[in-house]
Amino acid sequence: MAFSDNLQYLRTRQNLTQEQLAEAMDVSRQSVSKWESGASFPEMDTILKLCDLFSVSLDTLLRGDAAAEARADTAGYDRHMNTFTRQVTLAVAGIIMGVSLMMFTMAFGLPEPLATALFLLFLTVAVVVLIAGGIQHDNFCKRYPVIPDFYTQEEKDTFHQKFVWLMAGGVGAILFGVIAMLLFFSVFPEEEFYELLAGSVFLLVVAGAVGVFIYGGMQEEKYKIWKYNRDNNPTPEAKQRLNLTNTVCACIMLAATAVYVGLGLTRELWNTAWWVFAVGGILCGGAVVILDPYKGED
């Protein structure tokens, strides 16, 4: 397709009139009409603005087929995001499961150093997966900074309904775990064996719920391609704020890990100090909300 055909298709797809597009580009309606008829060609600065407005690449706008690309996932975005979601979900849930397994094995007599080593093994694998997945995702974003929105509205609505049940189910699972623990200790004495056993089962439930939260949230974000395009083409001010957010979150989680290891080594609180990771996660969430450069836009 020619530039004129692509422009007309993209304008129509976003339900823009020629007057509205002209106003967004700070030109006259006659200029837009000439572009779409092929009688004239916009300047490069205007073409770049059109790429940003319609979330398409320069090559697609000038020489590609915008209609065909809008119907196909040419970059493999869906497959990549599904893989990235699984990596993050399993890694984070795996860390909590590692703590659960450590407590379970200690309840049945495994020496604390060996149980701790088992947890650190889970932690190491999870960190490696997170780092590898993050690098792969960063490379994908650099290679494809702009993705055409190929999802249909029906696909988005279908998953949103699923998302609601995933979030509700995760909350319900945690509440069920709390109730189960209360009932458990109403029958069994609060001795170390039972405390470790109940705690390990509860953390297993929490791991599943957290996994559901992460999976549902990342999959919900997957369908917001406009947000993906915006985040990968930030303004200098937004980029500075995002870098600050990443640095703050990294420092918080490093501090949480250091506190956990310190409490474990100095006070032997390996089985009870897991809460520092929950606190770290809450602080990271607060940092993201406070430093969000797009606050109010989402």
By the 8 A CB rule, do 32 and 25 touch?
yes
pLDDT, tens digit, 9 for 90 and up, residues 4-28: 888 888 888 777 888 988 888 889 9
Query: Of the candidates 230, 233, 221, which has an alpha carbon nearest to the alpha carbon of residue 294?
Result: 230
| pLDDT range class, residue 69, cuts 50, 70, 90 | low
Task: For residue 74, give Cα distances in angstroms to 63, 77, 97, 108, 224.
Answer: 15, 8, 37, 53, 17
Strands (E), the chain: none
DSSP line for 197-235? HHHHHHHHHHHHHHHHHHHHHHHHHHT-HHHHHHHTS--
With 70 as the cut, is the pLDDT of residue 176 above it? yes
Q: So what's the pLDDT on residue 205?
A: 93
* Mean pLDDT of all residues in 176-196: 86
Contact 210/92 with Cβ under 8 angstroms? yes
Of the pLDDT bands very low, low, confident and very high (cuts 50, 70, 90), residue 296 is: low
Higher pLDDT, 148 or 279: 279
CB 129 within 8 A of CB 215: no
CA pair distance 130, 293, nearest whole angstrom = 24
Candidate CATH numbers 3.90.1300.10, 1.10.510.10, 1.10.3720.10, 1.10.260.40; the one for domain 3-71: 1.10.260.40
Confidence band for 297, pLDDT divided at 50, 70 and 90: low
Alpha-carbon distance of 82 to 113, in angstroms, equals: 37
Q: Token pair 């995760």 is at which residue?
A: 170
| Best CA proximity match to 116, nearest among 98, 136, 140 | 98
pTM reported for the whole predicted model: 0.67
Each domain of the chain, given as residue ranges in start order, spans 3-71, 77-229, 234-298
pLDDT in the model for residue 184:
87
Contact 97, 204 (CB under 8 A): yes
- % of residues, the chain, pLDDT over 90: 33
State the first-to-last Cα distance of the chain, in angstroms, to the nearest integer: 33
Look at 237 and 155; give whichever has higher pLDDT: 155
